[in-house]
Amino acid sequence: MTLTPFQSLLDALIPAADGFEAVLPDDWLQGRTAYGGLSAALCFEAAQRHVGDLPPLRSAQFAFIGPSSGRLSIVPTVLRRGKSTVFIGVDLFGEAGLAVRGLLCFGANRASSLNLENVPPPEMRAPDQCSTYFQLPTAPAFTRHFESRVVAGAQPKSSAKDAHILVWLRHQDHTAPTTMASLLALGDGLPPAAMPLFDDVPISVSTMTWSIDLLVDAIKSESGWWLIETRGETAKDGYSAQNMTIWDEDGVAVATMKQTVALFG
């Protein structure tokens, strides 16, 4: 399968009457639809191009309502622009209708007497000391775009006892710039934390909501590696809830996240 570089995917966004349009290549799909991280990245990219000159992204919430498939239409709307913050709503439509609704909050720095950082990194090994996590060809198509190195946790459907995964991820395309869009695409790259708990039986999953809080003004990575942790809180009645964190290569926490995932099977 020929891999479409992530930046080429963003460059293929074309202006339309209400926003932007895109057609996703098969190598970026999860089954027949875009996975949540890619949908979120496209929403962010559309918002950034629509407004321009935005302060740093501080938080974002995404509801994944339907499949992001076929020709996509992405419509960003400025909800409010204040002295230091900008709220932008983004609707992403697939051929079957509304697929994603996003709310993005951008905010400029303000003077403050507080300087609290309380998201310490876990004990970790360097990527070159770890084995590959994604076991191709059983992994979804989009994972071929990522290099993966597992620090802790088990493979999906391995009857594991702990709903916890800790993996280094980076884009296969090392020439791609380090941007918020590229980080969002990575941030949802791991399977749900509940997946390793299952036996080897047919199972499908679908992210329902994703909430992200950014902890730094700007992201940077010399190597392109990001340490991503997902830890399950509950998994019952066909749904799971999980907390997630991203650290950079220096152990600086850049984002905390939370997801609700539907489990079928």
What whole-number percentage of the chain has pLDDT above 70? 99
pLDDT at 69: 87
Task: Give residue 208's pLDDT.
Answer: 97
Residue 52 has pLDDT above 90, yes or no: no
Identify the DSSP state of 53. Answer: S
Amino acid, res. 156: P
Q: Is residue 212 part of a domain?
A: yes
Average pLDDT rounded to a whole number, residues 235-260: 97
On whether residue 117 sits in a domain, the answer given is: no
pLDDT tens by residue, 14-46: 999 899 999 999 999 898 889 999 999 999 999
The whole-angstrom separation of Cα 153 and Cα 164 is 6
**The model's pTM:** 0.95
* Position 116 in a domain: no
Supply 183's token pair.
């980080």
**Mean pLDDT on 190-196:** 96
DSSP per-residue string spanning 137-164: TTS-GGGGGEEEEEEEE--TTS--S--E
In a domain, 119, yes or no: no
137 band by pLDDT with thresholds 50, 70 and 90? confident
How high is the pLDDT of residue 1? Answer: 65
Mean pLDDT for the stretch of residues 42-53:
95
Round to whole Å and give the CA distance between 161 and 53: 47
pLDDT on residue 34: 93
Name the DSSP letter for residue 188. T
Q: Which domain holds residue 37?
A: 6-110+124-264
The CATH number of the domain holding residue 150 is 2.40.160.210
Q: Look at residue 23 and tell me if it is in a domain.
A: yes
The residue-averaged pLDDT of 203-221 equals 94
Assigned domain for 229 exists: yes
Closest CA to 100 of 77, 73, 78: 73
Q: Within a domain: residue 64?
A: yes
Q: Count other Cβ atoms within 10 Å, centred on residue 208.
A: 16
Instruction: Out of 5-9, 58-62, 201-205, give the one with best mean pLDDT.
Output: 58-62
Q: Using one digit for the tens of pLDDT, what is the confidence trace for 74-118?
A: 999 999 999 999 999 999 999 999 999 999 999 998 888 888 888
pLDDT digits (tens, 9 = 90+) for 163-192: 999 999 999 988 888 999 999 999 999 999
Between the alpha carbon of residue 251 and those of residues 48, 74, 90, 149, 255, the distances in Å are 28, 34, 31, 16, 12
Q: How many domains does the chain have?
A: 1
Look at residue 135 and tell me if it is in a domain: yes
